[in-house]
Structure formats: C-alpha cells, structure tokens
Amino acid sequence: MSRRRVVVTGCGGLTALGHTWPDIRAGLEAGRTGVVRMEDWDRYDELHTRLGAPTAPFELPRYYNRKVMRSMGRVALLSTRASELAVYDAGFERSDPVLTGGRTGIAFGSSAGSIVPIIAAGRFAELGTLKGAPTNSYVQMMAHTGAVNIGVFFKVRGRLITTCSACTSGSQGIGFGYETIRDGIQDVMIAGGADELSVVSAVVFDMIGATTTMNDTPERAPRPFDAERDGLVVGEGGATLILEDLEHAKARGAKIYAEVVGFGTNTDGTHITQPNAETMAEVMRLALDDAGLKPQDIGYVSAHGTGTERGDIAESRATNEVMGAEVPFSSLKSYFGHTLGACGSLEAWLGIEMMNEGWFAPTRNLDNPAEECAPLNHLREGPVKIDTDHFMSNNFAFGGINTSLIFRRYDG
C-alpha cells in the first residue's frame, strides 16, 4: 500500500497566554510569560519552587453541564475543550458523520489523570474515609481519561490510542495519529495531549532538584540553555491537531495548515530520568529519514528546552550533532512553562502557525548560553523572520522516550 499524505486541518488549545492564535501570537511577540507565583503553594514548607504556569481563565459553553462533565477531572476537561476547538476549526460539527462513522480515531495522552480523585483514593487507603471522593473517581484519575472523554464527547467510534508517556504524550499523539492515517487505517485523527497543574506535578520534579527556585522573579524563569538556568517551571494546558488524509481533506474543501512529513520515536534503554544524547540524535535522524529530508532542509528546530541542567546539555549536543550549529533553535517553554503531556502538541501547533507567517519566537531569558551546552543558533531576540518550508519539533520524556516531528508548509 502506498503511503497516504497527512495534513493538519484544525488546531485548538488552552494555554497560559490565551486560547486563540491571535492572542497567543500577541503574547509571543511582546515577550510575555505565563509564569506566575503560586501563592497557594506557600503552605507547603518542603516545596522549594513556588512558580507555575496555569492556563488562562476560560469560559465553557452552557452545554458543559453536570451530566457532560461528571466523568471529567481537570485534565479531561482541558483535553475535551482543546479538541472541541480544533474540531470546529477543522470545519466539523460535534455530531458530524465524519467523526462518528468509524473512520475517525483518537491519539491523545497525558502524564496522568486528575489529582483530586487520586488524593481521595489515597486518603481512603490511609484513613478509611471516602469523604471528598468523586463517585466517578476512577474515570477521572485513569491515565487515559482525556482520550476516552474526547471519544464520548464526539461519539468517535474509530481507533483510540492512548499516549500516556509524560512529556512526549502530545508529540506521540501526533506521530501515532499521522502513522495511522498514512497507513490507511483511519481518514481523520484527533491528536494531541493535555495536563493539569497541581502542587503534586510540581513536587515530583522538586524532589529530584529539577524545578526553579527563582520564586521572587517569575518573569525570569525558566531559562532554557542559559548559564544561570536552575530548573523547570511546571505548566498547564491542552492542545489538539486534527490530522487528515490529504485527499479526504481536499474533497471536502478543508483549510490545510501544514503537512506532517516525518516522525521518529525511540527509547534510551539506559536510565529512567537521565537523558541520553545518543538516542536523542537518533530520533532526529529517524524523523529526517521518514520525511526523506536532509538536515539542511530544516529551517527551524523547536526545542524541548526545559531549563534543567542535564536535559539542556544532552539536547543541545544531540541537536548540534545532527542538525549542525547554524540551525535556528528556540524553546517555547520559556513562555508557557513545561506543560508536560501537552507540550508536544502545543509546540507543534504554534510552530505551524509561526512557519506559515514566516517568523519564530526566541527563547525568553536566554542571556548567556551555557558553555557546557553545544553551540547552536539560539534565537534570543525577536520575533525572528525565517522563511522555511520545514521545521522540526522535538520532545523528550522521563523513561527515556524521545520524539521528533517534521512539518512541511502546505503549498497546495
């Protein structure tokens, strides 16, 4: 079977800088950050970080009633609403036969389910009380809660792939969705990732010394690839791309944002939390090989760029090895924090929008690139005008999971 071409026909998300591309673009162009001091976290004496990047407030349509939302914790709500925005952007209605007819599937993930029911379950195990436990605790706390709630909301009957792989959940969602359409298994895929912000998501990184402690200067954190970087900021959000077979999209007159042309994913096989530059480099080569492209064909690389010491070093060395020192390179986490399961799809969405407009955002707070990081063409002031037909988006997760996606500007 010949490979089908896969295009992006819808985009949507909920982020710390807003929920539409014009709002987010304005924030990026102004160099604004979604990072704030989380005052509620001051009561946790053993927590070192006090910074987070919560999703900006958003209103829900009236039909998000108790019945619709009873199976949703925060992460499922972010997943479902981001996907709804993308579905509408693609020109579908909620009950569209294309969505419900069995030829549309879902590839979506998060780091975990919602924390409130998990805390309630732990309280029961320790104290024997169900006080405060939602009756639908399991469906709100299960790792695939976002994907299944999307499926129920849109009555999707096709293939469902849950990509619960921490920081590569969103990028694997796009990659596996792309492969599913490419190979003729589905015509349309709802693909992406989401994660909610909680003190628990902060403390898991805090315990291993991976979070920033620039608590009194939230506008100065995080600092990916900077000599004074001291860790990541945990963020929140959800982002979805609607992927579609090119001929299917053209037949219905869909707007086409970009084409997905390359995907690679692999695992380190060495350490749960320590990054491996060798396999990071290999995943970029896998994506280039899948796309049939050479490194010099890529006009911009969207970095994972968390602002942690070892992560930034390994990523910079891998990128330098494969792409060379001159490739334009920046990290969007400097604006949104580390949105965990959402970051891969969020960064892909914004990269597509910027590619189509001919510019890319620089890395915030990158004053002095760290000497221990390999040399790269860091975008440090901007927006930076770059006219390119291809960009690469890379993400790396705990467990040694690596992803690389390549998008092509669609020219008809």
Residue 407 has pLDDT above 70, yes or no: yes
Question: Average of pLDDT values for 17-41?
Answer: 98
| Segment 220-243, tens digit of pLDDT | 999 999 999 999 999 999 999 999
pLDDT at 164: 96
Band (pLDDT 50/70/90 cuts) for residue 245 is very high
Residue 132 has pLDDT above 80, yes or no: no
Concatenate the DSSP letters of all residues of 340-406 into one string: GGGHHHHHHHHHHHHHHHTEEPPPTT-SSB-TTSPP-EE--SS-EE---SEEEEEEEETTTEEEEEE
pLDDT at 2: 82
Question: Average of pLDDT values for 64-74?
Answer: 96
Scored b (16 or more CB within 10 A) or e, 307-322 reads bbbebbbbbbbbbbbb
pLDDT at 111: 96
Q: At residue 164, what is the residue type?
A: C
d(CA 264, CA 339): 21
Q: Provide CB contacts within 8 A for 126, sequence distance 6+.
A: none
Please indicate whether the domains covering 6-251 and 263-405 agree at the CATH topology level. yes
Q: Point out the residues that are catalytic.
A: 167, 304, 338
Contact (CB, 8 A) for 145 and 114: yes
Look at residues 211, 408, 221 and name the one whose alpha carbon lies nearest to residue 311.
211
Question: Average of pLDDT values for 363-372?
Answer: 98
Q: Report the percent of the chain where pLDDT is more than 70.
A: 100
pLDDT at 126: 87
Report the range of poorest mean pLDDT among 118-127, 306-315, 325-334: 118-127
Residue 352 has pLDDT above 70, yes or no: yes
User: Domain segments of the chain: what residues?
Assistant: 6-251, 263-405
| Segment 99-108, tens digit of pLDDT | 999 999 999 9
Question: Average of pLDDT values for 38-65?
Answer: 97
Contact (CB, 8 A) for 239 and 169: no
φ, ψ at 224 (rounded to 5°): -55, 130
For the chain, what is the mean pLDDT? 97
| Architecture in CATH for domain 6-251 | 3-Layer(aba) Sandwich (3.40)
pLDDT at 1: 61
User: Greatest CA span in the chain, whole angstroms?
Assistant: 62
Residue 70 has pLDDT above 70, yes or no: yes
Contact (CB, 8 A) for 244 and 86: no
pLDDT at 40: 96
Residue 134 has pLDDT above 80, yes or no: no
Contact (CB, 8 A) for 362 and 381: yes
Question: Average of pLDDT values for 297-317?
Answer: 98
Residue 11 has pLDDT above 70, yes or no: yes
Q: What stretch of H or E contains 14? A: strand 6-14
Tell whether omega for the bond before 222 is within 30 degrees of 0, i.e. cis.
Answer: yes
Q: At the topology level of CATH, where does 263-405 sit?
A: Peroxisomal Thiolase; Chain A, domain 1 (3.40.47)
Look at residues 317, 307, 293 and name the one whose alpha carbon lies nearest to residue 372.
317
